[in-house]
Structure 1
Amino acid sequence: MGAAGSKLEKALGDQFPEGERYFGLENFGNTCYCNSVLQALYFCVPFREQLLEYYGNNKPVGDAEENLLTCLADLFSQITSQKKKTGVIAPKRFVQRLKKQNELFRSYMHQDAHEFLNFLLNELVDILEKEAQAAKNERGTSPPSDTANGPKNGLANGGQKEPFVTWVHKNFQGILTNETKCLRCETVTARDETFFDLSLDIEQNSSITSCLKNFSSTETLNAEDKFFCDKCCSLQEAQKRMKIKKPPHILVVHLKRFKYIEQLGRNKKLSYRVVFPLELKLGNTVEDADIEYSLFAVVVHVGSGPNHGHYVSLVKSHNHWLFFDDENVEMIDESAVQTFFGSAQEYSSNTDHGYILFYESIGSGNKN
């Protein structure tokens, strides 16, 4: 990346952020799905800082076995400690460990960036949980709240002690509440569940705001879909809706661009134009809050189908937008972000579409 790196340094000039590093990641044969997500996570500053702090306190000693958490921390540590401001790093240890850990990622076939992100975050949480449990057993006490694990699935209403929360949860976890109201007795049943990202159905010429509105829209359960009301002790018509009870610090939005089409007998990529704003307000979707988020990363799928193609990422760092394509890194204008919204026509030569969006709540201290 010599020439490209110096070009990037030249473009930023005196504005090159002090202490920041912009490094491309080597591709080991269709590992762009991994590289694009790793860049987005690296520029999630609170996550990066907490991961490096964890690594500083928990560096593996001797022949201690590596895991995905230590490999990720080591990679981030390598980037931050580079003398050069730009260049290329080979995330070899991380990719090898990923393949060892999960057979899904062992082949050289095209993989899904969203599946990888989901697996990685849950794997980090599992590792932290095991470490916290081991520490608890050693001390005979409860683990501290910043290293233990919180719930990954549902939260029962009442009767459960306060869950411990890791720094992974503190960044990415939100809580959804699923409300069902019986239309006969008007009793509302609420069930909470945690999430690391929101997967949204998309429509042509829409926006994230309208997708979120649809996500939280009221659905009537009737005919064959009636709801069993515990109070009425029978099946009743009901209204159901999903709301965000506790918004996450980092909101990850996954656009469902790959859909199974029965007539075709396969998955098809939806190239729909979905506008994702630089500043996003969560209004009707959230209980008693009007929270605002700022976009800092986008994982883009390039290609016309789900089983082949390429992933790149756009990242905002210190008020500059950067384009990461494996080994290559270049500066882009903020206005270029909208070229990744999607296509207004079903068939278009533009196949570069926003797939995973990373928003940070405003006022939470990201240096981006």
Structure 2
Amino acid sequence: MVMGATGSKLEKALGEQFPEGERYFGLENFGNTCYCNSVLQALYFCVPFRDQLLEYYENNKIVTEAEENLLTCLADLFSQISSQKKKTGIISPRRFVQRVKKENELFRSYMHQDAHEFLNFLLNELVDILEKESKTTKASPEGSSSGKIANGPINPLANGARKEPLVTWVHKSFQGILTNETKCLCCETVTARDETFFDLSLDIEQNSSITSCLKNFSSTETLMADDKFFCDKCRSLQEAQKRMKIKKPPNVLVIHLKRFKYIEQLGRYKKLSYRVVFPLELKLSNTMEDSDTEYSLFAVVVHVGSGPNHGHYVSLVKSHNHWLFFDDENVEMIDEATVQTFFGSAQEYSSNTDHGYILFYESLSNRS
């Protein structure tokens, strides 16, 4: 497929405004694989993750068919893109997509898939592979493996000591720690439980913002009546206050907007086209004790369509202070102001069906 006039125009712009080494390639769609392509573009422009993956590729270039896995296929794909002679064009992620389908039957059909589910599956799978490799190449000096990490509690050992999980480079990019605090309203004892996360899934409301969604995520909830909390100190069920806070922010903050809601009256999921403003710069002031953590938006996976079971995914990516639009094989430069058109719809019924779904923010403190 030739990109034609648009391609040459883009190539000229890329040559003038982008560093020599950067590549901007569209990805071929194999019958509804836009959920995969949109996430891959966001991950490719997550520079710390990409650098680590390319380094992994350099160290594991020669892989037999029997040794091939999702990580080697992804590393191979990123290496193919980064080593292209041209700045832009189209790449076929066939091997990677075939491997995804082989590993997970959920993605084998030609039905519409969920980009957030795919991102979760991919990151967990990469962690599993890295942990297995670490076990086979002797125990890592950083600690022993703890199995799947993604979103979940940090498990203490039976004797009360903590088992330190292996910290892979996937964790270093995406993992943060949440603290779930529960305060007994009788004896005022606070119980805190830490859990790790790779992304935050936020409930959304009409005409709101990421800041207000994060504030709601960390708001205090009172547990009473049937929801009372069993307090170990009082040795009985008590009314309590519960809240979730970010204890350790990740280097790359991934925010998933819960745009698909199950409506009992309808007996199915409905897409919420709510307008949710996502700022280009974000502070975690409402969800953390230390509010100095600042983030900058660098990628958005957008869901296009009016419902959860059909539609399309595209991605917006910021690279070297310019925004680009990736729609499978097509790549275009866009103005920063265009990003705002993906906030959602202020009215319930709108012809605009392109809504921000997964947001990728990088920590400004980690920028080199």
So what's the TM-score if we normalise by structure 2? 0.95
Go from structure 1 to structure 2 and tell me whether the alpha carbon gap of 1:146 and 1:325 turns closer, same or farther (over 3 Å shift).
Answer: farther
Whether contact under 8 Å (2:282, 2:295) holds in the other structure is: yes
Question: Structure 2: how far apart are the matches of 1:12 and 1:128?
Answer: 35
| Residue type at the aligned position of 2:50 | R
Q: Give the C-alpha shift of residue 6 in structure 1.
A: 1.1
1:53 aligns with 2:52: no
What secondary structure sits across from 1:214 in the alignment? helix
Say which SS state the counterpart of residue 366 (structure 2) adopts: coil
* Distance in 1 (alpha carbons) for counterparts of 2:16 and 2:312: 33
- The yes-or-no answer on 1:256 pairing with 2:258 is yes
Partner residue, 1:108: 110
Partner of 1:154: 153
Task: Tell me the amino acid that sits aligned with residue 52 of structure 1.
Answer: L
Query: Structure 2 CA distance, aligned partners of 1:223 and 1:279?
Result: 41
Which residue does 1:139 correspond to in 2? none
Alpha-carbon offset, residue 290 of structure 1: 2.2
Alpha carbons of structure 1 residues 97 and 63: separation in structure 2 relative to 1, 3 Å? closer
CA contact (8 A) 2:228 2:237 kept: yes
Q: Runs of 4 or more off by more than 4 Å in structure 1?
A: 146-151
Native 8 Å contact 2:283 2:291 kept in 1:
no
1:50-105 per-position Cα deviation (integer Å, ceiling 9, x unaligned): 01101111224344421000000000000000001110000000000000000000
Structure 2 CA distance for partners of 1:63 and 1:304, relative to 1, 3 Å: closer
Within 2, Cα distance between the matches of 1:146 and 1:311? Answer: 39
- Pick the aligned partner of 1:70 from 62, 69, 72: 72
Q: Which of these residues, 140, 144, 148, is aligned with residue 143 of structure 1?
A: 140
Name which of 88, 97, 119 aligns with 1:95: 97
Shift in alpha-carbon separation, 1:298–1:146, aligned structure 2, 3 A: farther
Q: Following TM superposition, by how much is the alpha carbon of 1:364 offset from its aligned partner in structure 2, in angstroms?
A: 1.1
SS in 1 for 2:216: helix
Deviation at 1:350, TM superposition (A): 0.2
10-19 or 45-54, which deviates more:
10-19
Q: Does 1:2 align with 2:4?
A: yes
CA contact (8 A) 1:340 1:354 kept: yes
**TM-score, normalization: structure 1?**
0.95
Identity %: 85
Superposed CA offset, 1:8-28 (max 9, x none): 122344213210000000000
SS of residue paired to 1:217:
coil
Unaligned runs of 5+ in 2: none
Match in the other structure for 2:16: 14
Instruction: Please state whether the residue corresponding to 2:125 is helix, strand or coil.
Output: helix
2:365 aligned counterpart, secondary structure: coil
CA contact (8 A) 1:156 1:191 kept: no
In structure 2, the CA distance between the partners of 1:144 and 1:50, relative to structure 1 (3 Å rule), is: farther
Match status 1:166 vs 2:168: yes
323-332 vs 159-168, which deviates more?
159-168
Distance 1:117 1:62 in 2: 26
CA 1:357–1:159 in structure 2 vs 1: closer, same or farther (change >3 Å)? same
CA distance in structure 2 between the partners assigned to 1:212 and 1:42 by the alignment: 26
Q: 1:147: Cα distance to partner?
A: 10
Instruction: Give me the whole-angstrom Cα distance separating, in 2, the residues matched to 1:118 and 1:308.
Output: 20
Letter in 2 for 1:75: L
Aligned to 1:363, the other structure's residue is in SS state: helix
Residue 363 of structure 1: how far off its partner (Å): 2.9
> What is the match of residue 125 of structure 1?
127
Give matches, 1:1-368, under 5 Å.
Answer: 1-136=3-138, 142-145=139-142, 152=149, 153-156=152-155, 159-365=161-367
Distance in 1 (CA, whole Å) between partners of 2:14 and 2:59 is 34
For the Cα contact (< 8 Å) 2:131–2:166, is it kept in 1?
no
Would you say the 8 A contact 2:155–2:163 is kept in 1?
no
For 2:64 and 2:37, locate their aligned partners in 1 and report how far apart those are by CA, in whole Å.
29
Q: Which runs of 5+ in 1 are unaligned?
A: 137-141
Measured on the aligned residues, the alpha-carbon RMSD in Å equals 1.5
| Residues 128 and 148 in structure 2, CA contact (< 8 A), matched pair in contact too | no
Matched pairs, number: 361
SS in 1 for 2:357: strand
Query: Which string of whole-angstrom CA distances, capped at 9 and with x for unpartnered residues, describes residues 229-258 of structure 1?
Result: 000000000000000010000000000000
Matched-pair contact (CA < 8 Å) for 2:123–2:170: yes
Give the C-alpha shift of residue 150 in structure 1: 7.2
